[in-house]
Chains A and B, each alone.
Chain A
């Protein structure tokens, strides 16, 4: 197990290096001159040269690339020209918001999708199944940001139930939150604020997981050993719980892991709809301000999150399915 974990981590290195390379080349191709952004449209030649020298912009591409990789390895993602702070600081500031959003939306998705998929498979071709399939189909076909807009229209504007902007973090200090007297108030308010963004971001995941859960369960339920169990008169509920469910979860976990890349993209849209200052809005601001190192840093962060997510997925196979052997056969 440990050997496998180490090997998976080593395999991730070329992927991470690839992400650094792609983002470096893309940001290098962005038209426009960072110097003119810092000094205005007609910079003084000496000042410009000084800045170029300071940030190494006068050196050839491969030298800058190697320097950047060397810095990244040491945990230095460079300096944000727009915000005037180190990129790592900006990321550390925004990251908790996005992670909270991702965790809550995946929790929502898994908690709703798994039962829905199982029930759908159990009552195949019955009304419950049809309803859940239609819900899943609409879920994978709907633009997430549109769900966000509709939720705002209904729950914020018409029913006046939920707030549409100004996300409050559950760990915020009650002193700094308007109208909150205690920790409990803050938690309740954070929950109210998180509800709509969670549904907005989680619907796609929910629908995708429901679909895969259903088909995986159906596949397992048609296996010989399930038929055998039925022939022995094992109650259907026991078959579902003991024989089918666990074995059906492998493809589901794969899909959960792969959904992460869609969810990270969806976070950009969700944060825009609800004006949440997370990583998603950070990268848009960075691109609009041609803040190169911030663009590279945030993209790298997104890639890293995905890679970690996939590794965790792979490792969780072991927990679900003890038959999985770790590459000894290869």
Chain B
């Protein structure tokens, strides 16, 4: 499948390769990532992406503090009929878990609407789910899972893929052949199927979901880095380092990888969005985060039984996923454009 991988990489790396002279390449690699980051300051789409990611990350951090550090995981997950204001940490921290079941209002519509279960209320701005839990609050806590999954699984794939791709491209020969065939094999099994099989074998929880998605991401990064390394390998400074007796491992770590890193950063940004989508799909199928911990995919799965009485229950978690993934895609596109001076959108 060499043809395919090369063409794809060419596409992704439309920068770099045709830049031409050694000096240009040198300058680009010197200023590399920081220069790229500096360039996106004038790109409204990239900034919008960055803003979305920042807000989502802030919500995730808040949810983490509230849920894990203050240990309220069980509160927000189990106890129905609490208004939004009661969830903010330090405010009404000791919620009395005893509530009057008659007052639980499940499947309420958003505040400004009315359905068979009654008029919406600003206590639950986006309505309630089938157990009377506030949808907005559960969305907030779902952010924690999504952001965590996106970053960690992409990090696993990036580190793994970078190592595999760098070794493969640097040594060439049979090592390259063997590693690339392995990478193609991983790529040939649909991500979702591979992760499901992986989780069935090792465990149905978030940790294995992240590891599984990380592993399925390896091929993307491995191919990207490899195509880059194959050209960096021939550069004079690598030649010089080799002549000076620098060990292969150090050449790869100090010269080859840093000089191939900018496109990896772009890919990683886009990949976080993809990982969030995959994990949402996993949770939807019942793999991934287990109830009562809220995750967006799982909320969508639960909403399937209530699409007729309260369709909004099925709308909001999807909106949350959409906004988050759009954020990463906008930033990734912005970074890619900044890296590639020929495309001036």
Name A residues whose Cβ lies closer than 8 Å to a Cβ of B.
11-12, 14-15, 18-19, 22-23, 26-27, 29-31, 125, 137-138, 140-146, 149-150, 152-153, 157, 212, 215-216, 218-219, 222, 250-251, 254-255, 257-258, 261-262, 264-266, 268-269, 272-273, 283-284, 287, 295, 298-299, 302-303, 306-307, 310, 313-314, 317
Contacts and interface: CB of A to CB of B under 8 A. Distances in A.
16 contacts: A11-B2, A15-B181, A26-B201, A142-B322, A146-B322, A149-B303, A149-B307, A157-B307, A215-B343, A251-B8, A262-B190, A264-B190, A283-B193, A295-B200, A299-B193, A303-B188
B211 interface: no
Contact of B193 (A146, A258, A268): A268
B300 A146 contact: yes
B300 A258 contact: no
Given A22-B185, A141-B322, A299-B189, A149 B201 contact: no
Contacts of A222: 342
B329 A141 contact: yes
Contacts of A306: 187-190
Contact of B201 (A29, A272, A303, A310): A29
Nearest to A254: B7
B135 to A, nearest CB: 15
Main SS class of interface, B: helix
Given A11-B2, A142-B322, A261-B188, 4 more contacts: A14-B185, A149-B318, A265-B281, A306-B190
B314 to A, nearest CB: 5
Interface string B70-95: 00000000000000000000000000
Nearest to A145: B284
A26 B343 contact: no
A284 B189 contact: no
Contacts of A269: 192, 281, 284-285
Smallest CB-CB A-B distances: 10 pairs:
A18-B185, A265-B192, A146-B318, A141-B325, A265-B190, A29-B201, A264-B190, A141-B326, A153-B311, A303-B188
B223 to A, nearest CB: 10
A283 B285 CA distance: 12
B1 interface: yes
A319 to B, nearest CB: 14
A275 to B, nearest CB: 10
Given A11-B1, A258-B8, A303-B188, A152 B307 contact: yes
Interface of B: 1-4, 7-8, 10-11, 14, 181-182, 184-194, 196-198, 200-202, 273, 277-278, 280-281, 284-285, 297, 300, 303-304, 307-308, 311, 314-315, 317-318, 321-322, 325-326, 329-330, 333, 342-343, 345
B343 A218 contact: yes
A250 B281 contact: no
Given A254-B8, A257-B4, A307-B188, A143 B321 contact: yes
B326 A262 contact: no
Nearest to B304: A149
Nearest to A273: B304
A91 to B, nearest CB: 14
B4 A254 contact: yes
Contacts of B184: 15, 18
A32 to B, nearest CB: 9
A307 B314 CA distance: 36
Nearest to B270: A140
Contacts of A313: 4
Contacts of B8: 251, 254-255, 258
A268 B192 contact: yes
The listed residue with most A CB atoms (<10 A of its CB), out of B181, B188, B314, is B188
Given A11-B1, A18-B182, A299-B189, A287 B14 contact: no
B201 A262 contact: no
A143 B281 contact: yes
B303 A261 contact: no
A218 B344 CA distance: 10
Nearest to B203: A31
Given A145-B281, A284-B285, A287-B196, A261 B191 contact: yes
A137 B326 contact: yes
Contacts of B304: 149, 273
B281 A317 contact: no
B14 A219 contact: yes
Contact of B198 (A12, A26, A141, A284): A26
Contacts of A310: 1, 4, 188
A287 B4 contact: no
Nearest to A164: B307
Contact of B197 (A11, A26, A140): A26
Given A137-B326, A137-B330, A251 B7 contact: yes
The listed residue with most A CB atoms (<10 A of its CB), out of B181, B192, B196, is B192
B336 to A, nearest CB: 10
B326 A138 contact: yes
Contacts of B190: 261-262, 264-265, 268, 302, 306
Given A30-B200, A212-B11, A284-B285, A142 B318 contact: yes
